[in-house]
Amino acid sequence: MTLPNVRHQNVGGFRRQAKDKTPQRNFKLQIEYDGTHYHGWQVQNSKTANLNYRNSQTIQHILEKLLKQLLQEDIKLTVAGRTDAGVHALAQVANFRSRTQMPLNRLRWALNCLLPEDIKVTLVKHVPPDFNSRFCAKSKLYRYTILNRKYSSPLLARRVYFFHHPLDVGLMRKEARVLLGRHNFTAFAATEKPRQRNPMRRIKKISILQDKYLLYIDIQADSFLYNMVRNIAGTLLEIGRGRFPAGSMAKILRSRNRKLAGPALPAKGLCLLKVEY
């Protein structure tokens, strides 16, 4: 992907203003993106050529570069949740500080003119100076989508996980309820990442919705361990297909042993639906 060159552009008649001493204001962005072709949200910390290329393929890098070109300021985005490579977002939230006096609707319009088709800003608003997209968030809602039938879908292939085995959805719902509340979720944390100091998380809501062939696993929590949703979804599939018997979820949760849980499902089925403040 090549970023748009806006060095000499005058978007919508807006002319960049010279730097002044105008006080900075705090801006909140709501962002929708298809993560298929990106190495996740976060800019990678490396000076190597390979990872510099990867930085050009992250959501954060693209947005920060375009904001800098539009506003003529160094922009640093703080994000609610750093999605991984291939993960999508319907309403990701980020904030930044700037001295710009550009009207909010013009800023959104200008950004969306320059952004690639798979990244769009759906909202721009002023927020109080102490607003922080990450630390002010009360909960996040993720959805994992599964296509459960005998054949895959070319139209949905980038956003669902295809699973052809029959599933006992009723048993999956019963087992999922075990995860409600505050628990140690070490059994559902990624083993390739260093263990987080505090593996305690509170799942506020968990539901499994069925719409014909589509299965939606929705999980809302105060925060998540790395790969936690994908690991839970993989465990629920093992239960639904009969590989794990009834009562398995409680045993796995208590064990704090990642090896006892199901596999991490692919990133493409995961989407950040909402961040609550």
- What is the identity of the amino acid at 254? R
121 forms bridges with which residues in the sheet?
31
Burial of residue 155, with CB atoms counted within 10 A of its CB: 0-12 exposed, 13-18 middle, 19 or more buried: exposed
Q: Do residues 217 and 234 touch, judged by C-beta distance below 8 A?
A: no
Q: Considering the candidates 20, 34, 84, 211, report the single residue annotated as catalytic.
A: 84
DSSP codes, 37-60 = TSS-SSPP---SHHHHHHHTTSHH
Cα angle 260, 261, 263 (rounded to 5 degrees) comes to: 125
CA atoms 277, 42, 71, 8: torsion sign: negative
Q: Establish whether 84 is a catalytic residue.
A: yes
CA atoms 72, 78, 84, 89: torsion sign: negative
Q: Which residue numbers are catalytic? A: 84
